[in-house]
Amino acid sequence: RKMRKKIVAGNWKMNENLQEGIALAKEINEACAADKPNCGVIVCTPFIHLAKVAEVLDQNFVALGAENCADKEKGAYTGEVSAAMVKSTGAQYVILGHSERRQYYHETAEILKEKVQLALANGLKVIFCCGETLEEREANKQNEVVKAELDGSVFNLSAEEWKNIVLAYEPIWAIGTGKTATSDQAEEMLAYIRSIVAEKYGKEAAEDTTILYGGSCKPGNAKELFAKPDIDGGLIGGASLKCADFKAIIDAWK
């Protein structure tokens, strides 16, 4: 399994002003330059940080990503930022389908499908998030919910397009709550996700797909999570805002 790309990606969400963001990015870049990661590292920042952070990252080992992009190509969409604009900053990735976007900004499967298409068409790689609510897990519907999210927004992609997709399973009940899925719960879901990717794109493509776990991942639990056969790294919220914590999670791959 250890052939496919391992990734630790930070999602800053709506934190850090421009100066703080540049300082944090510099710190992460220096930490990774001094002690090279054993995995891909991605820093996903608010839009306003992208161009400046691109200047301080050595993207050979710390890649840059956005947290969102528009579902329209260009034009009269006040306040929106297109995939082409994101790409022009030097970013290589974009997070799409995060539960906060689905929940608070009403992003539907159909909207996300458009966003994914535009991101890929503009040369971005997509970190596509999926995950169930606590209520859905308690009703034992997590597999069906996650499958529907993938069916609705990314399983329409061609095999060629699929190569630019990273998946992130983030149970909503574990995001920012301090409540991590157990490594067994996470592994069970990631193995399930890999099995449905195999049904869609074949076993080889499924073996090559990077699937991350996200939800209160921190230095204290990263090693155990990453030791599981189907967990290829993490999408990190809170703990990505402190360089030492983020680096400790990156180092869980050592």
Q: Could you tell me the smallest distance in angstroms from the CB atom of residue 181 to ligand PEP?
A: 11
Q: Is 65 annotated as a binding residue?
A: no
Q: Is 238 annotated as a binding residue?
A: yes
Three-state SS sequence of 15-58: CCCHHHHHHHHHHHHHHHHHCCCCCEEEEEECHHHHHHHHHHCC
Cβ distance 99 to 129 under 8 Å?
A: yes
Among residues 67, 132, 136, 170, which one is catalytic?
A: 170
Q: Rounded distance, CA 139 to CA 200, Å? A: 26
Q: Which residue is nearest to ligand PEP (CB)?
A: 237
Catalytic-residue membership of 98: yes
Q: Could you tell me the smallest distance in angstroms from the CB atom of residue 155 to ligand PEP?
A: 22
Q: Could you tell me the smallest distance in angstroms from the CB atom of residue 95 to ligand PEP?
A: 8
Tell me whether residue 88 or residue 177 sits nearer to ligand PEP (CB atom). Answer: 177
Single out the residue of 74, 24, 72 nearest to residue 45, CA to CA: 24
Tell me whether residue 117 or residue 216 sits nearer to ligand PEP (CB atom). Answer: 216
Give ∠ CA 195-177-140 in degrees, rounded to 5.
40
Within 10 A of 110 (CB to CB), how many other CB atoms are there? 11
Q: Is 176 annotated as a binding residue?
A: yes
Q: Is 97 left (phi over 0), alpha (psi -120 to 50) or beta?
A: left
Among residues 16, 67, 98, 107, which one is catalytic?
A: 98
**Interface with ligand PEP (CB under 6 A):** 11, 170, 175-176, 214-217, 235-239
Q: Could you tell me the smallest distance in angstroms from the CB atom of residue 13 to ligand PEP?
A: 7
Cβ distance 171 to 215 under 8 Å?
A: yes
Catalytic residues: 98, 170
The binding site for substrate consists of 11-13, 176, 216, 237-238
Q: Which residues are annotated as a binding site?
A: 11-13, 176, 216, 237-238
